[in-house]
Structure 1
Amino acid sequence: MKTSRNALLLLSSQFISDIGNWIDRIALLTLVYNTSKSTVKMSILSIIMLIPAVLFSVPFGRIIDISNKKRILLFGDFLRAILVFLIPFSVKYIFLLVFIISALTALYENTRSSLIPEIFKREELRQINSLSSSLSSLMMIIGPTIGGVLTASFNLKYCFYIDSFSFLISTMLISQISYCKSKNVEVANTTLRYKEFINFLNRNLIIKNVIAINCLTNLFAGILNGLLIVYVINYLHSNSKGYGLILTSKGIAMVITSFCLYKSFKDVRNEIIFLIGLIGLGISIMLFSLNSIFMVALFLHFINGIFNSLNAISRTTLIQQNCEKIFLGRCFSLNSMLSNIFSIVSLLIGGILSKFLSVRIVFLSCGFFITVTGILYLFKFLKVGFLGNSHSPS
C-alpha cells in the first residue's frame, strides 16, 4: 500500500510540475524575444539552461548522496516556485534567474532519479521508470500546445504565476511521500570522497558501459536534433507544421511504448532491451534519411520513438539496479553532465558538418554510427556475460 501511495504521489508531482515547466519554457522564450528581438539572446538563453548541469554535476552528486533526498526535492520545488514568480518583476535579471532555476532543476532531476531505488523495490523499478517516461512523453505532446495557447491568450506574467503554483502543488505532494534515509547509508556517504566513486565506477562494468554508450548516442543523435527541421523542409518538402507532426508522432510512440514496456517485456533482461533500443534507433534514423515521402517519414519517426523509449527507460533502470545507493546521486549527476557536454559538442559538430555535407548524408552517417555502436556493444556484452541466462529483474 505504501509503495502504491508513493508512486501515485511521485508521478502526480511530476505531471503537475511538467505542465508548469512547459508553460514557463514557452513564456520565457516569448518574453526574451519580445523584449530583445534578438536571436543571439535566444541562443544564450538555451545555453544557460544547459550549463548548470555541466558546471555543478560533481558538487550536486555529493550533495544528493549525503543529504535527505526528500528534503532536496521539497527545497527545489519551493525555491523554484519563488524564483519563477519573480521573473515578471525582474526582467533585467532574467538570465541570472534562469541560470539559478536551471541549476535547481538539474539538482532536482538527479535527486528524483536517485530517490526512486530507495523507495521502490528492485523489481518495481522498470514499471516506475516506464510510467514516469510515459508522463514525460505525454507532456512532450500536449505541453507545447498548452503553453502556446496560454501565452497567446493571457498576459505572460500569468503563465509564470501558473508555473509557480504548479511547483507549490508538487511540494505538497512530495511532502506526503514516505521516505526515511538509512542511517548507515548517511554515515557512509559523509565519509566517502569522489575518488571512491570513481573506483566504484571502474569496477562496475555495466554502469560504466551504459554511461559510455549514452555519451556516444548523444554525440551522434544530438547532431540530428538541430537539423531535423532542415531535413523536413528540404527533403520532405514540408514546413513547420510538418515538423510539428513529425515530433508528435515520436512523442505518441514514446507514450505507448512507456505504458506497455513493463508488461510486454517483463521477462526480458534490461541489458537486451537497452541494446535493442540502441540498434533500432540507429536503423530507424538511416531509413528515415533515405526517405522523401512525408507519410513514410511519420511512420519511421514513430518507430524511432519506440526504440528511443526502450533505450531511455532501460538505461535509467540499469543504473538504478546496478549502482550502490551511496553513489546514486554522483552516478546520475555524472551521467547528466556527460550527456549535456556531448549534446553541446554534437550541436557544434552538426553545424560544421552541414556546411560541407548534405543534411541527408549527415543523418545517414549518424544512424550508421549509432547502429555500429549498438552492435559492437552487443558483442562486448555477450563476451563479458551481461546477456547470460540469469534472469534480470524487470
Structure 2
Amino acid sequence: MWNNRNVWIILSGEMIAGLGLWTGIIGNLEFLQAKIPSDFVKAIILSIGLLAGIIAGPTAGRIIDQSRKKTVLLIAGIGRMISVVFMLLAIATGSVWWMVAFIVSIQLAATFYFPALQAAIPLVVKDKDLLAMNGLHMNVATIARVAGTALAGVMLVYWSLASLYWVSLLAYGLLLGFTLMLKIDEGKGSDEGKSAKQRENSGFMDVFPVLKAFPTVGMTLVMTLIPLLFIGSFNLIVINISEIQNSSSIKGLIYTFEGIAFMIGSFAVKYIAQKWKTTVILFFFATMVAVAEFMLFFASSVVMTLSAFAVLGFALGCFFPTAMVIFQKQMPKAYHGRFFSFRNMLERVMFQVVLVSTGAFLDIVGLQTMVILFGMISLTLTVLFYVLMKKKNITFEQPQIEKPAAEIV
C-alpha cells in the first residue's frame, strides 16, 4: 500500500484540505460571534448548510455512481474554492448573507466530495488494504483538525480574520492540484460489486427489515445518538465558552485538546478491547460523554473546560471505532452501502434538531443549565438502552452469522 502513489496523494490532500477546513470553521465561529448576538439565530444559520446537504444527498449519491469519481472530486474542489470567496466578501462587507452563501455552497461541495472520495478509495487500493487505508485516512483527518484549529487560534491573536480564509483558499487550491494527480481505474470492480450497487439503488427503506433481523446493529445505531447530542451542539458551545471566558484563543485550544484525546482514545481502545467486553466499552464511554457534559457546568474555568473536552474526545475515540466494528461485522455486506448512507442521513437530521435546540436553550436558559440538562438526557438514554438490551437479550460480543438477503426481506 505504501508504494501506491494514489495513497500518498489522498492522504497528503486530506492533510492540507483539513488544515483549510478547520481554519475556516474557527473563522466562521469568530464571525458569527461578532455579528449575531442570538445563539438561536447562530444555530439557524449553521443549520441552513446542513439542510442543503440533506436535500442534495440523494442526488449526489446518484451522480457519484453515474460519473467518474475524479471528475466529481475536481468539481467539488472548485466549488470549495468559490465558496471561500463568498466568505471573504462577507468579511469585507460585514454581510451575514454572504456567509449564508458560503455555508450553503461549502456544504454542497462536501456533500459531493466526501462520498466520492469514499467511493474512490476502493478503486485505488487493494481489498486487503481497505481497512488500514480507511483507518489511516481518519487519523490524518483528525491530525489535520487538531493542527488546523491550533493554527487558527494563533492566527486570530496575531492576524486578521480574513487571513484564516486566505489559508483555506490556498489549502483548497493545493487539494485541487493533488486531485489532478490521482489516477483512478474507474473500470475496476467485480460483477458482484456492480450488482451490489444496483441493489443499493432500491433505497433506504430496505434497511429497516435488516435492522429488525439484526437487533445488535439497530441498538448500536440508536446508541450513537447519545454522543450526537454533544457533537451536534459542539460549535455553539465553543462560541458560548469563548464569550464566557472572553477569549478567542480558547476555541483553538478546545478543538486541539478534544482532537488529541480522540486520537489517544482510538489508539487505546485496541488494548481496552482485550480486557473489556464490547458491551462494557459502549455503555461506559456513553456514560463518559454525559460526564463531560456535566463538567461543562464549570465552563468559566479554563482547566475544567479543556478537561471536559479531553474526556469527550477520549470517550468518542473509544466509542465510535467500537460501534463501527459492530456495523461492519454484523450488518450483511450486501446492505453496507444503503446502511451507511442511511446512517449519514440520520446523523445529518439529528444535527439539525440538536443545533436548533441548542441555540434555543442557550438563549433561554444559558450554557450551564443546558449542559446539565444534556448530561441528564445522555445518562437517562444510556440507562434505558442498557435495560432494553437486557430485556431483549441483545448481545454485542459475537458477530452474528449473515442471513441470506432473501430471508431478510
Q: TM-score range by the shorter chain?
A: 0.7 to 0.9
1:176 match: secondary structure: coil
2:383 to 368, 372, 382: 372
- The question of whether the paired residues in 2 share the 8 Å contact of 1:17 and 1:170 is answered with yes
The equivalent of 1:288 in structure 2 is: 295
| Aligned residues of 1:57 and 1:336 also touching (Cα < 8 A) | no
Answering whether residue 171 of structure 2 is matched by residue 166 of structure 1, we say yes
Q: 2:312 aligns with which of 304, 309, 314?
A: 304
Map residues 25-64 of structure 1 onto 2, 5 A cutoff.
25-28=25-28, 37-39=35-37, 43-64=43-64
Query: Could you tell me which of 191, 202, 206 is aligned with 1:199?
Result: 206
Equivalent residue for 1:249? 257
| 8 Å contact kept, 1:270–1:318 | no
Q: Distance in 1 between matches of 2:400 and 2:332?
A: 20
Q: What's the CA shift for 1:87?
A: 5.0
Unaligned runs of 5+ in 1: none
Q: Give 2:349's aligned residue.
A: 341
Give distance in 2, aligned partners of 1:32 and 1:291. 24
Identity of aligned pairs, percent?
20
Larger RCO, structures 1/2 (Cα 8 Å, 6+ apart)? 1
CA contact (8 A) 2:261 2:311 kept: yes
1:212 to 222, 230, 239: 222
Matched-pair contact (CA < 8 Å) for 1:258–1:309 = yes
> What corresponds to 2:19 in structure 1?
19
Contact 2:326–2:399 (CA<8 Å) still a contact in 1? no
> Residues 122-157 of structure 1, C-alpha deviation per residue, up to 9 Å, x if partnerless?
765554444333333334433233234446655666
- Letter of the 1:218 partner, please give it: L
The alpha-carbon distance between structure 1 residues 127 and 79, as it changes in their structure 2 partners (threshold 3 A), is same
Q: Give TM-score, length-normalised by structure 2.
A: 0.71
Amino acid at match of 1:135: V
Query: Secondary structure at 1:358's aligned position in 2?
Result: helix
For residues 20-75 of structure 1, give each alpha carbon's deviation from its aligned partner in whole angstroms, at most 9, with x where no partner exists.
Answer: 112333445556777xx444675554223322222222222333444444443233
Q: For 1:1-394, list aligned pairs within 5 A.
A: 1=1, 5-28=5-28, 37-39=35-37, 43-85=43-85, 88=88, 93-116=98-121, 119=124, 124=129, 127-150=132-155, 159-174=164-179, 175-176=181-182, 178-180=184-186, 181-182=188-189, 184=191, 188=195, 191-192=198-199, 194-204=201-211, 205=214, 207-219=217-229, 222=232, 226-227=236-237, 240=247, 245=253, 247-261=255-269, 264=271, 275=282, 278-282=285-289, 284-285=291-292, 288=295, 295=303, 298-299=306-307, 301-316=309-324, 318-319=326-327, 330-350=338-358, 355=364, 358-359=369-370, 361-372=372-383, 375-376=386-387, 379=390, 383-384=393-394, 386-388=396-398
- Once residues 68 and 317 of structure 1 are traced to their aligned partners in structure 2, the CA distance between those partners, rounded to angstroms, is 30
AA aligned to 2:146 is: I
Deviation at 1:225, TM superposition (A): 6.4
Distance 1:210 1:340, change over 3 A: same
Summarize the Cα distance change of 1:282–1:84 in structure 2 as closer, same or farther, 3 Å threshold: closer
How far off is 1:170 after superposition?
A: 2.0
CA distance, structure 2, for counterparts of residue 333 and residue 179 of structure 1: 24
How far did 1:17 drift?
0.2
Distance in 2 between the 1:359 and 1:291 partners?
12
Shift of 1:304: 2.8
Deviations 1:245-292 (A, max 9, x none): 555432221122335556x46879996587256434345337636889
CA distance in structure 2 between the aligned counterparts of 1:191 and 1:390, rounded to whole angstroms: 25
Kindly state the Cα deviation for residue 365 of structure 1 after the two structures are TM-superposed. Answer: 0.4
Residue 102 of structure 1: how far off its partner (Å): 1.1
How far off its partner does 1:244 sit? 6.2
Going from structure 1 to structure 2, the CA distance change for 1:290 and 1:165 (only over 3 Å counts) comes to closer
